Structure 1
Amino acid sequence: MPSVDQVTYLHVEYSVPIIVLSVFIACLASYTSLSMNERIVYNSFFHRYIWLGLASITMGFGIWSMHFIGMSAAMLPVDMSFNVPLTILSVVPAILATFVAFSLSSTANNSSKLIVFAGIFMGLGISSMHYIGMRAMISEANYAYHFGYFILSVLIAIIASFISLFIFLKLQRYMSNFIVKSITSLLMGVTISSMHYTGMFAIRYYVDEEMELVHAHAHHVSIKAIILGVTIGIFIVLLFSILSGLLDRYVEYRLNYFDALTKRPNRRQFERLIESSTYNSGLAILHIHDLNKWNGKYGYYFGDKIICYIEELCAKLIPHNVKFFRLEGNRFAFFSMSNEDLEKLIIELNHLTTILSSPVTIDDQTIKVETAIALAVNEKKMTSKQLYENAVAVLTHYSIRFDNEIITYDSEKHKQTFANHLVNEIEDALLEKHLYLVYQPKVFLKSRRVAGLEALLRWNHPLYGELSPSVFIPILEASDKMFDVTDWIIEEVSKQIAIWQQEDRNLPVAINIPGSYVTSPRLMGSLINNVEKYKISPLLIELEITETSAVDNIEGAIQSVQAFRNVGFTVTLDDFGTGVSSLSYLKRIPVNTLKIDKSFIDGVPESQKDGEIIKAIIALGSSLHLSIVIEGVEREEQVEYLSSINELPIIQGYYYAKPMNIYVLEEWLYKFQNGEIVIKH
């Protein structure tokens, strides 16, 4: 640094408003970059490097703008200007350093070494930007650096970067809070500005001793440069802030409010509509029946093709003024806003059902798509929510048939008191024998001997006729009546086993145990009371529990199953393979038998995937010394396939017999044991 005797050192004054403006720019850039870094964590629609790039550009330009605005705050009695190419180049280290720092810190988690390295890199980048920018300054005065303050400014940049990144990572879960993010941004902006002004303080401006200073205490950086710097800085920061906000809202809107497969408005948009007070003249819901059957037989890609086929038909036929939604996997909804639109909708829905009544070829497979369309007409100025409830009442009614027809809501027929009627009549149904049991045989695959039976509940209602178990069992479960019915089933089965025991016939019978009853002490009491009352062996009663009921209370299920095993009952895990936790819980629940769900055998032997799954489950069961029951076996080809892979399983299904009442069962057992049963291939 030159001697005081040789040169004249210049006194530097600063404009406070411009300093405040520079700090504000740094804070604004910090806030925007933090917002973008949030989206790296919470948004997976765009690649993380897009958000990293936007955050780095915003932060880099913000620091760059702060730097040159801060330089403009310096008031010197000499003329000053900037080398434009070098000025523009100075922004590059800031952007690159910020990008690398954000990249490292976003993957650092709790790695202190990575955070330190990221802080060092970002601090050096900011320092490089600062001193390259200083190099771009053209002035009548010369300048030199005070070494101590120069080193201090670099250290401040590194420490400030490290602290900012550390705070961001540690408080990342709170960054959605405006106050936390604002305080963090303020801290980052102030620390970054501190580095800049420390670097400015390290500079010593001087001129030759002979030079006459004409502009005493004047600020000779052009005001145009200040305006340009502020404009560029704020414009770029706000531009990327707005752009990122728009992108974020667009992504959120597309992901949350549109179906990914059909690109139609989804259930969320539908629910927003039905919660509004907008008048709708009518609502129709199209339900695709047995979609899981096609998924299981040909794969989910095939099921998607069915959905897309129906969506394309609807798009062509449905009037443009009718709102069209995909509610869930197998349902579409149509809202008409006026009576005229409703009339057009009904006409086109009839056209649609006519088309769907004919077979269609999808991926070289000719299939018959079965649907039902529930129609609710707004005749009494009902709300959209009421219309929806009426349409759902049609689809959940016991009388529903999937014959590709339109079923209009009838308040007398479809009113929700149907469920109440069943619940109120359950006791009479037990006394009057409207509830009864049927039995379906289970047969050893290898020896073709009867392995046992499964008792299944049926209801012959005096008014509604033969009710499907899929209709009345959920109603009884929801009303807590299923415990009473299960106790009745246990007693009826125990009576029948006692009769067979007296005839020297030991036929094990499986009983389905509903959900939470598995862990109820009442169940054990009912079982033991009936075993003692009818003097039967516990080994002849098999308890079938579903995986879902076990997983809902895994610890309770383990204790209950072990208790059943200790008494002598056998336990089967029903519908194995349809849940999400089978393998993880199988080793913990001490069951005797695995029962493979019907959905896996439906596609065999045509579906190689289903075949491999069955092989794997049989191999798993064998390795764990568990019996295997395969339900839903209906065809000779399925039996031959199962025989080819393993002869140990037990099979159950229409191939041998449908569920039968006790009288038909006795006749079937006699004929089967004497070889008189002819299997229909």
Structure 2
Amino acid sequence: MNNSAMYALNGLTILALRSPDICRDEVLTKFTDLVSETLNFPSSFIAILDDHYQYIKASHNFDLDGSVRSDSLCQYVADDVSPLIIPDTHADSCFASNPFVTGSPFIRFYAGVPLKNREGAFLGTLCVTDSVPRSFSADQLATLEKLSQLVISFLEAWHSAGFTDPVTGLPNRQQLIRNLHTLGKMEKSSSYRLILIDLIDIPRAYELARTLGMGPVEGLLRDMATLIPLRLRPGPDDLIYTVATGRFALLTQASTHFTAEWVATKLAGVSADMGEGLSVDLTTHAGEALFNPGKFPPHEVLRKAVSALHEAICQGVSYMSFSEKNDERRTDDFTLVNDLATAIRFNQGIYLVYQPKICLNTGLPIGLEALIRWRHPVRGELSPSVFIPLAEQTTLLQDLTEWVIDKTIERLKRLDSSPLQLPVTVNVSVRDFSQEGFADRLETKMINARLSPELLGIECLETERIIESAAAMAGLEMLKLRGFNISLDDFGTGYSNISYLRRMPLDVIKLDRSIINGLTTDTASRIITKSIISMLKELDYVVLAEGVENVETLDVLREFGCDQAQGFYHSRPLPEPELDEWLSWKIRR
């Protein structure tokens, strides 16, 4: 990256000043009013110059909006980056034929001083003019230069407020977008890499702020902004930005050693000081996008880097490069989430099916599990495994839970006092029952429907998340106190710890199908399953086996003391009309 490009990418720039900003330019106009009044000149203006044009950003009694650079008197100030005084343009052969001397605004006297940013790069001029020849004293020149310093101080403050992150002091997202614009105009032949670095997710930052206050969190963010350059050691041509809370960006040429993998490795295992002896371990994810400046709009370059970063986070890996294939999949996922929101809002395409639970002592249906299904208008029937994980990443999961609960209550209310009435369990996420007031709202719905809470069961997953969340444990306790039966799904997989289960207010434990699959063929599976059922029964849980598909497995489960079974051997999940027919048939038998 050459020096001119670096000047364009650092600090206050010509590109920033060329962009429209009504409030900024109103203040600059007041500066030109002050200049004319202080120096007693009829006209004054502030001009910004690039390689080809002069832009008049503010003026007092000066009838010109801009011009090509070669016609402007200010070009000579720009070339020498020093003041220029022309007492009489008619008497100077360099200026006598200038179009702005011979024509409007008929400049006869000119005095201009350079405006330079803190890196020393020339941005423009502060000038006074008159239509008659004049002298200009050393004191007047000193005053004009002091006024130019005030103008620069204001512009630097304006720039800092709009293009600098107030907490970390690093250039912000707006500055990054602007720099990408600049590269598109100056460095089209070079390849660049934009690396996004995520050290702390926003929800966690907000949780820390709620617990510790903003002071320690801002200290944490400043510590990150200091730690990153210390670990990465960027060169003078490598630029670091703060683009969001806990999220940073590195803009570098593609030829450097900086890659998402290298950055993630260098920042692995870091921690940040929260003050008072408290530190926080940070989890690093990095995503990168390679690009040629000018080929894609800056916002598209940033979007690609964000896409790569989110892919790394979702896959649980430390880094990821942008992939068109992954990006297309994410676009499809985004579209699907929007379609799901529409389906929920207008009650279109989504419906419930119910899988019976069978009592192993009597062989009769003893309950139902409500399961969501979606018939997409274009893609047809979609498995819950396709759309539920997407809903879990958004607030749609709560909307979906509310929809399932409402539809289940409608069924229970319809069959009130009917011989077909059976308790129904619904799947509820930790996020749902952790909400304050969830149990109260659920109880109110049942009371309004004149139904007993025992008819509606709550089925939950994610044991580890429940145990680690005080809100989740409190939510389960509130549900239990209000009379709702609580089941734990998929026991026997992942985080299945008996000692932890005793801390949870559970009624039913569902054995995962992976436990019972080998009951009829594998001795070890029989011993393990028998021991698990025996322990759970001694702990006073109702034990339900799911995924039962043959009578041999059913017989073994009955022998081991299992209470209930659910699976295709008895019935697949059924929509309501078929379910009611099936239940009537079972009752008649």
Same fold (TM over 0.5): no
TM-score (norm 2): 0.44
TM-score (norm 1): 0.39
Q: Give the greater-gyration-radius structure (CA).
A: 1
| Higher RCO (C-alpha 8 Å, min separation 6) | 1
